[in-house]
Amino acid sequence: MERKLRSQQWFGKTGKDGFIYRAWMRNQGIPDDHFRGKPVIGICNTWSELTPCNAHFRELAESVKKGIIEAGGFPLEFPVMSLGETLIKPTAMLYRNLVSMEVEEAIRANPLDGVVLMCGCDKTTPSLVMGACSVDIPSIVISGGAMLTGKYRGRNIGTSDLWRFSEDVRSGVMSEEELNEAEAGMCRSRGHCAVMGTASSMACMVESLGLSLPGNAAIPAADSNRKVLAQLTGRRIVDMVREDLKPSDVLTREAFENAIKVNAAIGGSTNFVIHLLAIAGRVGVPLSLEDFDIFSRNIPLVANLQPSGKYFMEDLYYAGGLPAVMKQIESNLHTGCITVNGKSAGENISKTKSWDPQVIAPADAPVNPRSGIVVLKGNLCENGSIIKPSAASPHLMQHKGRAVVFSDIEDYKRRINDPMLEVDATSVLVLKNAGPKGYPGMPEVGNLGLPAKLLQQGVTDMVRISDGRMSGTGFGTVVLHVSPEAAENGTFSLIETGDMIELDVDNRLLNLHVSEVELLERRKRQAPFKSPYTRGYTRLFVEHVEQACQGADFDFLKGGSGSEVTRDSH
Ligand code: FES
Ligand code: MG
């Protein structure tokens, strides 16, 4: 017997209620048969001209619609708040949880049987996936694709070069005029950042979790095949509704382990950690910060992409895309995991190979044997912190240095270029109050630019530690996500300039060499954290956000509330 569609609780009704549910929809010119048993598919669109990475999504949605109609479904596109990294102040991360709530409620409240999630710029992926998981109706992701590789004076460039250019201008190697020329060449097509930054890492995350069709991660936004994939995604969601294939069927513990391993193989973003933890929390799969270290430990870096390597997302596509990356580490993966196309992860990669070993290297001759996310513990970060070794400097993996402490990002900006600042290449730059609660919203400031006077001496990397995040396009020996953050009054909040800090990546240690007695004294003098935000969403955020080691979701959003709505509105 055919299952009754959820949408029929609206459109299948007789009398006054059914009239109201259908009649107003008919003002869009919808024929009667659309209300009589066709799967209704929501297209959750993060299109916005304020989110340049997703600005092409209205056109892409047309391809999704074509596919839905071809498969016998009834598409209904709806907008949700769109989070662009480049314009939103004080940080798009402040709003990830808000959007996840909006997406969850929008899906549940409406007559939808399935949903296509249109994701691009960094936070648009986790926020939509988190929301959809908390409702748990059939859901599939289509990503917008990366931009074409940027060009500047005969060179290939991408977002990671921005950090280099910025240091070059500060050290006098590059002029403002040249910087402006680079600006014009960086973003020359539709799409999101062209390197393995957070947006691309998120596209790889959904593909490795099994939430998108195979190939989704790497097709460039400007490539016609992106539209083809969008159309196929539209076709597939209709069948997923018929099969009742839900996120909770796909997102098993094994799927999360696969995603962690794939993120290591691609040199994916550190932000992946926070977003994957939050998604796991929504589907109720136990996942800990330590899992990221454990499951990426034996995975080599096989994708040679910036910021850990040399190439760009466009090159990844031509070399075979994410399926070819997964193929290199196939023996490490749970190949039996079911994915949204109804096939297993193993079946999806069975016929793939790397077409360019420069870009996708074999696991036995990798780009870098170091990969993944290392989780550090010690008295400086009782609940952990992370570092991405593939984007760091080997000579700083074991380092002891004197702390130079900045109380917040404004303090850093005020003093970093002061010629009198007591700092040398062995110092450890410490930034406090960039955490989820303290900032609030945990901005991408952790890859602090180096002091100008050291740049002029040719210093290119230093150990930096913060309770903030860094852009997935960033690099350097940067320790991030210190938990508990400064605003939670952990040991991290007690560090003072001059203290000795010891980083030992191989042994997973991060310690502050200050005596317990002294720390106790400092704690007595410390004023408790007081947020200046007394109203509105920011107040809600500060009161309910969890620490980075738990995914920085709200404490009341764990799990899901299902898709049932028992009461009618009229
Ligand atoms: Fe949108 Fe980088 S700014 S992906
Ligand atoms: Mg970013």
Q: What is the mean pLDDT of residues 364-387?
A: 95
Q: What is the mean pLDDT of residues 231-241?
A: 98
Average of per-residue pLDDT values in the chain: 96
Q: Quote the pLDDT of residue 479.
A: 98
Q: Quote the pLDDT of residue 569.
A: 87
Is the CB–ligand 1 distance for residue 133 below 6 Å? no
In one-letter notation, the amino acid at residue 553 is D
**DSSP one-letter code for 532:** S
pLDDT, tens digit, 9 for 90 and up, residues 237-274: 999 999 999 999 999 999 999 999 999 999 999 999 99
- Closest ligand (CA of 442): 2
Q: Quote the pLDDT of residue 372.
A: 86
Q: Quote the pLDDT of residue 2.
A: 60
Determine the Cα–Cα distance for residues 341 and 240; give it in Å rounded to an integer.
Answer: 8
Instruction: Sort 422 into a burial class: Cβ within 10 Å, 0-12 / 13-18 / 19+.
Output: exposed
- Parallel, antiparallel or unpaired: strands 463-466 and 428-431: parallel
pLDDT, tens digit, 9 for 90 and up, residues 21-42: 999 999 999 999 999 999 999 9
Question: What does the block give as tokens for 239?
Answer: 């069948």
How far from 22 is each of 69, 111, 281, 453, 564, CA to CA, in Å?
19, 11, 36, 68, 20
pLDDT, tens digit, 9 for 90 and up, residues 136-159: 999 999 999 999 999 999 999 999
Determine the Cα–Cα distance for residues 138 and 526; give it in Å rounded to an integer.
Answer: 50
Is the CB–ligand 1 distance for residue 207 below 6 Å? no
Determine the Cα–Cα distance for residues 274 and 198; give it in Å rounded to an integer.
Answer: 11
Sequence-distant (6+) residues with CB within 8 A of 530 are none
Q: What is the mean pLDDT of residues 549-556?
A: 98
- Parallel, antiparallel or unpaired: strands 500-504 and 509-513: antiparallel
pLDDT, tens digit, 9 for 90 and up, residues 376-391: 999 999 999 999 998 8
Contact assessment for residue 134 and residue 560, using Cβ atoms and an 8 Å cutoff: yes
Q: Quote the pLDDT of residue 1.
A: 41
Ranges in the chain annotated CATH 3.40.50.2300: 38-148+189-349
Q: Ligand 2 center to residue 8 CA distance, Å? A: 40
Ranges in the chain annotated CATH 3.50.30.80: 374-525
Is the CB–ligand 1 distance for residue 199 below 6 Å? yes
* CATH domain 38-148+189-349 topology: Rossmann fold (3.40.50)
How is the chain split among helix, strand and coil, in percent rounded to 5?
A: 40, 15, 45
Residue in 475, 298, 507 with CA at minimum distance from that of residue 399: 507
Return the residue whose CA atom lies nearest to atom 3 of ligand 1: 85
pLDDT, tens digit, 9 for 90 and up, residues 58-91: 999 999 999 999 999 999 999 999 999 999 999 9
pLDDT, tens digit, 9 for 90 and up, residues 461-494: 999 999 999 998 888 999 999 999 999 998 999 9
Residue 535 has pLDDT above 60, yes or no: yes
Return the residue whose CA atom lies nearest to atom 1 of ligand 1: 121
Q: What is the mean pLDDT of residues 505-524?
A: 97
Kindly indicate the confidence band of residue 8, based on its pLDDT and cuts at 50, 70 and 90.
very high
Q: Ligand 1 center to residue 54 CA distance, Å? A: 9
374-525 sits in which CATH class? alpha beta
Instruction: Sort 120 into a burial class: Cβ within 10 Å, 0-12 / 13-18 / 19+.
Output: buried
How far from 567 is each of 23, 345, 509, 564, CA to CA, in Å?
20, 40, 54, 9
Residue to mutate (ligand 1; options 122, 195, 272; most atoms within 8 A of CB): 122
Question: What does the block give as tokens for 344?
Answer: 């297993």
Q: Quote the pLDDT of residue 129.
A: 98
Contacts 24+ apart (CB under 8 A), 75-79: 75/41, 75/43, 75/234, 76/40, 76/41, 76/42, 76/43, 76/110, 76/112, 77/42, 77/43, 77/45, 78/42, 78/43, 78/44, 78/45, 78/106, 78/110, 79/45, 79/46, 79/47, 79/48
Residue in 460, 461, 458, 478 with CA at minimum distance from that of residue 469: 478
